Amino acid sequence: MSLLIKNAQFTAIDSEDEVLTGSLLIEKGKIAKIFPGEPAQIVTADETIDASGKLIIPGMTNAHYHSYSNLLKGTTSNLPLEIWSLYTIAYGHSLDDEDIYLAVLLGAADMIRSGITGCIDHFPHLLRVESALKAYEKSKINVAFAPMIQDISDEEFLGLPQENQLVRSIDELRDFFTRLVKDWHLKNDKIRIMLGPNAPQRCSKAALALCREVSNQYGLDVHTHLSETKVQKDMGDRTFKRGLVGHLDEAGLLNSRLSAAHAIWLNENEIDLLKEKEVTIIHNPASNMMLGSGFAPVSQYVTRQIPIALGTDASNCGISHNSFEMMRLALMMSRVNNRNYQEWLEPKDVFKMAAVSGAEVITESKRGKIAEGYDADLVFLDKNSKTFISEEDSVSQMILYENGDSVDSVMIMGDWVYRDKKILAFDEQQVIQQIQEKAEKIRNGAKGALALAERKRRSVEKFYQHFYN
């Protein structure tokens, strides 16, 4: 199946000219050829479309995301991470396979609607991985799927009493990943399995060693939370001789295969080490603000040429999985409290983070640019919308004013997944309705776990009050 897109205006990211015009020939899921202007008559394709009036941009990547959280909108979100996570874990206990399946589809629709064509799903419910992956297959979005590994609870790390134990032996985890890689890795060229240690302080040495072993054995990438709060940073420095970053280094996990979400609280040496080891940092501006986790000095990271991609994190810390909101917040946040405006991020910087760097984190194949040989992950924006009022600096207009309403159609690897504002792979409206019908069941099912969370909350709050006094 081939497709010729005529009269295309498209963003070139790497080129001096911000928007180019021409025709794109799509073959076998790739951008086979770009013709400046009209192609010669001899070019034939199974289908030809006229893209006049559209701006075509590459699909973007949501590089840190938790799909299950789509079901937790409207739950507790006014607390700092250490207390907030007690509730998010509690709700997680009540989710069954069908809930997870629907959560993945709802998130995929949310992302595709704003031009996101790939994501990293850092996924905590190991018993539910099959239903999550089936939903990803159905949705047709690209996913790097990172089941979370954790064998140390936050209470244990903070030195608080524990009421439940985390169980799953290292051998069980090894078997789990072996099976998962065999059944799902590289399926349809859209699904990739990653190792997802929850965070360095939440994994024993043996669990981190397993991540390294499996990553080396199958050539899998690794994704983790890193130094998200000041409490984590300070407790990490007390617990590990070289802090959280050093702990990952000693486990042999600091390398170009690793992407680290948040990385807010780092000292100079740690920043240097991440740079030296070619780790990618995933910046999550909305979640960092909503949970009061802190200010990630992204401009400093950019100055040191550390690769940065962007993520939306969880729905229950206050964001929809909207690429434009994600990029805009990253841009705005870089300007807060920074008088050195030379360091402020510009629209083209955050666009590159979302499109190019994001794609590089989830796949080695060519994605995230409109260039010959790259995957045909294309987003069509209607320029006849309130976002665009002139031909000047279309990228700035898009980053600063777009909310997703102008996204008209999206293709992933040459397949239309969204056309004329309709999700094609599944019935989005039915998914929404099913989730709304299940909301009460999910909340009722979590009652016991929520009561436990309430009990734990008291000791975590006490810890908070005393930690910095």
Distance of closest approach, residue 181 Cβ to Zn ion, in angstroms: 23
H or E segment and range at residue 170: helix 170-184
Choice between 270 and 313, CB closer to Zn ion: 313
67 or 394: CB nearest Zn ion: 67
Q: How far apart are CA 1 and CA 413, in angstroms?
A: 12
Please, which residue, 132 or 410, has the CB nearer to Zn ion?
A: 132
Least distance CB 65 / Zn ion (angstroms): 8
Q: Which residues contact 219 (CB under 8 A, 6 or more apart)?
A: none
**Cβ pair 240, 247 in contact under 8 A:** yes
CB of 147 to Zn ion, least distance (A): 14
> Measured from the CB atom, is 154 or 313 closer to Zn ion?
313
Give min distance, CB of 75 to Zn ion, in A: 16
* H/E run at residue 24: strand 19-27
Q: How far apart are CA 439 and CA 434, in angstroms?
A: 9
> Encoding tokens for residue 363?
């796949």
Give 286 or 370: the residue with its C-beta nearer to Zn ion: 286
Residue 415: how many CB atoms within 10 A of its CB? Answer: 16
Toward Zn ion, which CB reaches closer, 312 or 387?
312
Name the minimum Å distance from CB 388 to Zn ion: 33
Nearer to Zn ion, 313 or 360 (CB): 313
Q: Does 325 bind Zn ion (CB under 5 A)?
A: no
Number of residues that bind Zn ion (CB under 5 A): 1
**For 156-189, b where at least 16 C-beta lie within 10 A, e where not — what string?**
ebbebeeeeeeeeeeeebeebbeebbeebbeeee
Helix and strand numbers, DSSP H then E, in the chain: 17, 18
Nearest approach, Cβ of 105 to Zn ion (angstroms)?
20
Nearest residue to Zn ion, by Cβ distance, number only = 313
Report the C-alpha dihedral over residues 428, 117, 18, 16, rounded to 10 degrees. Answer: 180
Residues in 296-315 that interact with Zn ion by CB under 5 A: 313
Kindly state the helix (H) or strand (E) to which residue 266 belongs, with its residue range.
none
Smallest distance from Zn ion to CB 34, Å: 37
Q: Applying CB under 5 A, which residues contact Zn ion? A: 313
